[in-house]
Copies of this chain bind each other. A is one copy, B any other.
Amino acid sequence: MPESRRPQEFGELLSLWAEIDDLENVTSILNWDEQTKMPRGGAEARADHKATVQRILHQKLSSPKIGRLLESLVSYQASIPYDTDEAGMLRAAKRAYDRATKVPENLVLEMSRTGSKGFATWLRAREAKDFSVFSGDLERIVDVMGKVASALGYEDTPVDALLDQREPGMKVADLERLFGSLRERLVPLAKRIFERIDAVDDSVIRQAFDIPGQWKAGLMAVRAIGFNLDQYGRADTSVHPFSTTFSPHDVRITTRFMESFLPTSLFAFLHEAGHGQYMQGIPVKFRRTPISRQCSAGFSESQSRMWENLVGRSRHFSKYLLPRLREVFPGQLASANVETWYRAVNRVRPSLIRVEADEVTYNLHIMLRFELEKDVFAGRVKVKDLAGAWNSKFKEYLGIEPPNDLLGVLQDIHWSRQFGACFQGYTLGNVISAQLFEAALLAHPSIPEQFEVGNCSALLEWTRQNVHAHGSKYTPQELIVKATGRPLSTEPYLSYIERKYKDIYGL
């Protein structure tokens, strides 16, 4: 669309939206600082800062002016092709406006405050390894999230309302079907692998790896996959790894370290850099517009999980990675070869921590959290009993029980601020990543061979063009079809997993 043919109201909408987008980025900056740099004493004031920005953001997003402008642009929207940026912006603006007008300001504020306070308490609870320190805060968070869900409206479960914010158009029932089809083939596979649990030796990655070396190794890997660390990004440490964006030219990732286990930092680096590549890939021309963000939580996770697993844990990329890691850790990796490394980083076993779980059991961690969220909202599990419920469900799903709450219910940052529909994005990401990867391979069959020499540009370029370039112009359902030619299916993911792990475990 030439700008000259845009109605004046469209320009007015965009200039209001520029402020909204700025305030969203400001919130992200406040959060990034809170999680990476802020001295502990700053928590109380930071909660105020964030609540004030949230309140102003909500006022601007739900202002009647936006409503009137959207109204007046309905016929313009109908007159332009669906695929234009302008039409995408109007669709995205309408969705955001409708959601914002449903949730009253005091609730937005309450959510911001309980989240800030919750995060600080969660940190203390982690130190004490004791969920009871945090359960009072979590009760308030659940209460607020329930009120948010009621304000947004739902038919079956509050989780539906919260899910729609992250995956527009998706229902809990859809997810249950998807989880069902995964469970059907992953649970038997996991069972067969557990019978051969000693077939893979991962002692090579369980040695002493000094932190400065892990930094160096991680930055090398992150650069190899094409994340721009120098001009447009940076890396830090935080309690829980995350990524965030303040513009495509200012994208931040974090990791954390375990001295005795190299994959913790290395694959968190790759995971967050995968997110970061998506953030760096949103066209600069979408900056400060309604389509400046990623498509959905699931699509975001598709990028992180793709680079972490389909690339980072592949045999091809291992051929590139291992010699470079050996330069940093010559003693520890002296006797490792690509095959021992590849098998070690793909070892399957029942494990306690989601972010370190192997690909076969990973989705069980997600299903467990998703079911507990539904149980809490349905009143089947009380918040104060959540640690116990976690532990017994964990035992049921994975056959082991966390020795303390830090390794159990307190492990993820998500529930420190919000509750409900927090985790399904990871499983959706797994499923989407395999479908995207399959399509990219079809277009560029030599992608895996390129990994062996550390050339990730063909895959990155394909995702840039087919995913990143669209920002949040489309719904996830539209985008998956646009990028791969068909609707979301668990098939590519399941065959990838089965092929890979039957090979590794000789099944």
Contact B45 A249 (CB under 8 A): yes
Identify A233's interface contact among B29, B39, B44, B51, CB under 8 A: B39
A250 CA to B40 CA, complexed, in Å? 8
Chain B residue with minimal CB distance to A228?
B41
Contact with B along A20-33 (1 / 0, CB 8 A): 00110110011001
Interface membership of A491, Cβ < 8 A? no
A19 CA to B37 CA, complexed, in Å? 23
Interface membership of A501, Cβ < 8 A? no
A479 CA to B38 CA, complexed, in Å? 32
Interface membership of A234, Cβ < 8 A? yes
Q: How far is the CB of A27 from chain B (nearest CB, A)?
A: 10
Identify A30's interface contact among B26, B56, B232, B247, CB under 8 A: B26
Contact B288 A39 (CB under 8 A): no
- A230: chain B residues at CB < 8 Å are 39
- A37: chain B residues at CB < 8 Å are 37, 234
Interface membership of A203, Cβ < 8 A? no
Interface membership of A354, Cβ < 8 A? no
Q: How far is the CB of A413 from chain B (nearest CB, A)?
A: 20
- A55: chain B residues at CB < 8 Å are 19
Contact A29 B22 (CB under 8 A): no
Known contacts A234-B39, A249-B45, A52 near B33 by CB under 8 Å? no
- A228: chain B residues at CB < 8 Å are 41
Interface membership of A370, Cβ < 8 A? no
- A247: chain B residues at CB < 8 Å are 41-42, 44-46
Q: How far is the CB of A147 from chain B (nearest CB, A)?
A: 23
Interface membership of A49, Cβ < 8 A? yes
- A25: chain B residues at CB < 8 Å are 45, 49
By CB atoms of chain B within 10 A, which of A56, A232, A288 has the most? A56
Chain B residue with minimal CB distance to A230?
B39
Interface membership of A246, Cβ < 8 A? yes
Please give the count of copies of this chain that the complex contains: 2
Q: How far is the CB of A145 from chain B (nearest CB, A)?
A: 24
Chain B residue with minimal CB distance to A60?
B56
Contact A19 B49 (CB under 8 A): no
- A56: chain B residues at CB < 8 Å are 19, 56
Interface residues on A, range: 35 or more
- A52: chain B residues at CB < 8 Å are 18-19, 22-23, 26
A232 CA to B38 CA, complexed, in Å? 9
A53 CA to B20 CA, complexed, in Å? 11
Identify A249's interface contact among B41, B51, B249, CB under 8 A: B41
- A38: chain B residues at CB < 8 Å are 250
Known contacts A33-B29, A52-B22, A46 near B246 by CB under 8 Å? yes
Identify A49's interface contact among B22, B39, B41, CB under 8 A: B22
Chain B residue with minimal CB distance to A20?
B52
Contact B46 A250 (CB under 8 A): yes
Q: How far is the CB of A26 from chain B (nearest CB, A)?
A: 5
Contact A231 B288 (CB under 8 A): no
Interface membership of A478, Cβ < 8 A? no
- A287: chain B residues at CB < 8 Å are 45
Chain B residue with minimal CB distance to A23?
B52
Contact A48 B30 (CB under 8 A): no
A496 CA to B288 CA, complexed, in Å? 56
- A246: chain B residues at CB < 8 Å are 42, 45-46, 49
Q: Which A residues from 51 to 69 make CB contacts under 8 A with B?
A: 51-53, 55-56
Contact with B along A220-235 (1 / 0, CB 8 A): 0000000010111110
Chain B residue with minimal CB distance to A231?
B41
Task: Give 27 CB contacts A-B under 8 Å.
Answer: A18-B52, A19-B55, A19-B56, A22-B49, A23-B52, A25-B49, A26-B26, A26-B49, A29-B29, A29-B49, A33-B33, A37-B37, A39-B231, A39-B249, A41-B228, A41-B232, A41-B247, A41-B249, A42-B232, A42-B249, A44-B247, A45-B246, A45-B250, A46-B246, A46-B250, A49-B246, A56-B56
Give 10 closest A-B pairs by Cβ, nearest first.
A42-B250, A45-B247, A41-B249, A22-B52, A41-B232, A41-B231, A22-B49, A19-B52, A39-B234, A26-B49
If A26-B52, A41-B231, A42-B250 are given as contacts, then 15 extra A-B residue pairs at C-beta distance below 8 Å, sorted by A number, are A19-B52, A22-B48, A26-B49, A33-B33, A38-B250, A39-B230, A39-B233, A39-B234, A39-B249, A42-B232, A42-B247, A45-B249, A45-B250, A45-B287, A46-B246
